[in-house]
Amino acid sequence: MKEIPDLYKNNLGNPIILALDKAGKEGAIEIITELGRNVWGYKLGALLLKHGVPLLEEIRKEAGSVNLFIDLQFTGTPDFIIEAIGNYALYSTEISYIVVNAAAGPPGIKAAVDTTRITRILVGSVIDSLSIYDIKYIYGTDFPEEKTLQFAKMAKAEEADGIYCSSRDLEILSHYPDLRNLTKIVYGVRPSWDKNHGTHKYIMTPREAIERGATKFVIGGTIRDAKDKIAVVKKILEEINQRP
């Protein structure tokens, strides 16, 4: 088995979150078992909708304790969010982050923050999947950058740990020093040698993401579909640390 760079041994400083929804339940468990802590953790979303909380127990049983990132974009009333997040309380030692959608507003975000003790709350949105027309219709602005900044500041004001944002959002927020310490977990990240960008409109390389202030980044098929997954992880980590 090829080893990851010394800097990332024991998972320290490793910024990679591997998206597993497209792997299916059995495939996801197999990948977690294979990679373990060679990546920081694993993102689950649609798989949880399909298989529910018992999936977390299966992962714990088959693969042991690993860091999990839950992206279900919770929104609704504060009471709903409290109940929804409470469903995952038994797995708080594994669930490091849960995403609450910005549409929940300050009350919903505050409810999520107050509900969790170990798990950290991130504020996300789906603004990058919308057309300019849709953004104008929903948010009343022709400038999505305004909403990106507003959502980030709302997350900070309500004491969320950070935001879950696109690479485009990261580029925008990198120009605001007052948001520098806000955790930023980023999607739309691909190595330059992977030309399959999937459904992402905006793409940034792992090194670019880290240089622009990403705390961690989510990546999917580049690793998930590789025959030698550890070799790909090693290559990505080495590229991040290459000197200019």
Give per-residue pLDDT as tens, 131-183.
888 888 888 887 888 889 999 999 999 999 999 999 999 999 999 999 989 99
**Average pLDDT in the 24-44 region?**
94
**Residue 97: what are its φ and ψ, rounded to 5°?**
-140, 145
**Average pLDDT in the 36-44 region?**
95
C-beta neighbour count of 216 within 10 angstroms = 26
pLDDT value at residue 35: 94
Q: Are 234 and 2 in contact (CB under 8 A)?
A: yes
At the fourth CATH level, the homologous superfamily of domain 6-240 is Aldolase class I (3.20.20.70)
Average confidence score pLDDT of the chain = 89
pLDDT value at residue 7: 46
- Name which of 191, 220, 188, 168 is nearest 39 in CA terms: 220
- pTM score, whole prediction: 0.90
Domain-by-domain residue ranges, the chain?
Answer: 6-240
